[in-house]
């Protein structure tokens, strides 16, 4: 225990010294060890634009996994995101990004992703739909705590969750309650996270 305390003391002393020069040089502070952005993966969005997973850093994010051909729960995942969005005041909404990551990148090309944006009338100022490389899907699912399996008919069997990330990619809240009536505790967490810049 004393050893642990020493460690904390050392950390408290060292961290400002370590981060100050980095900030002075204009480099971003290192990612926290519990940030999901530690995962070095790239995605392609509905516009065909490639971006680093970690580039979502800097803004509070609502993240979920889905796939475009999903008939049953995935529309509910979009409903959940919209319900959260609706519950926010404009200033809060400005501070939130919503990212839906496909677990079916082989079929979810930019055109397929865009079709969902159009069909569900998603506000592109806030919503991004994106596909990782096929080999990276399970790792993203891993940091988000999502389980899935590809079925023989092209559908997926999967768990569904909305995950709220702070600006550094730390998980603030998580809900598996899908649909247009979101979990009040989760909504409260989104309000807290987006309350101030």
Report residue 95 as tokens: 């501070």
Nearer to other proteins, 95 or 174 (CB): 174
Under the criterion CB under 8 A, does residue 4 sit at the interface with other proteins?
Answer: no
Across the beta sheet with 96-102, the strand order is: 50-52, 42-45, 127-132, 96-102, 60-66, 162-165, 171-175
CB of 27 to other proteins, least distance (A): 18
Nearer to other proteins, 114 or 137 (CB): 137
Nearer to other proteins, 72 or 196 (CB): 72
Nearer to other proteins, 58 or 179 (CB): 179
Q: Please name every residue paired with 96 in a beta bridge, in sequence order, or none if there are none.
A: 60
How many residues at the interface with other proteins, by CB under 8 A?
39
Q: For the segment 78-137, give every residue that binds other proteins (CB under 8 A).
A: none
Q: Is the dihedral of CA 29, 34, 40, 44 positive or negative?
A: negative
Tell me, residue by residue from 147 to 186, as one string, x for binding to other proteins by CB under 8 A and - for no binding. Answer: xxxxxxx-xxxxxx---------------xxxx-x-----
| Residue of 172, 169, 197, 194 whose CA lies nearest to 31 | 169
């Amino acid at each position: 225990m004393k050893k642990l305390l020493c460690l904390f003391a050392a950390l408290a002393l060292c961290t400002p010294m370590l981060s100050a020069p980095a900030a002075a040089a204009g480099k971003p502070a290192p990612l926290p060890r519990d940030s999901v952005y530690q995962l070095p993966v790239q995605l392609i969005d509905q516009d065909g634009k490639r971006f680093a997973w970690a580039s979502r850093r800097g803004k509070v994010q609502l993240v979920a996994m889905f796939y475009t051909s999903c008939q049953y729960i995935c529309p509910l995942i979009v409903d959940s995101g919209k319900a959260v969005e609706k519950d926010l005041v404009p200033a809060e909404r400005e501070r939130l990004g919503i990212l839906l990551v496909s677990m079916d990148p082989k079929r979810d090309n930019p055109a397929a992703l865009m079709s969902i944006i159009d069909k569900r009338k998603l506000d592109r100022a806030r919503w991004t739909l994106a596909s990782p490389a096929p080999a990276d899907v399970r790792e993203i699912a891993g940091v988000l705590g999502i389980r899935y399996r590809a079925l023989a008919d092209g559908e997926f069997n999967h768990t569904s969750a909305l995950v709220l990330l702070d600006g550094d990619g730390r998980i603030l809240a998580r809900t598996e309650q899908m649909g247009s009536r979101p979990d009040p505790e989760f909504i409260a967490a989104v309000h807290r996270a987006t309350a101030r810049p």
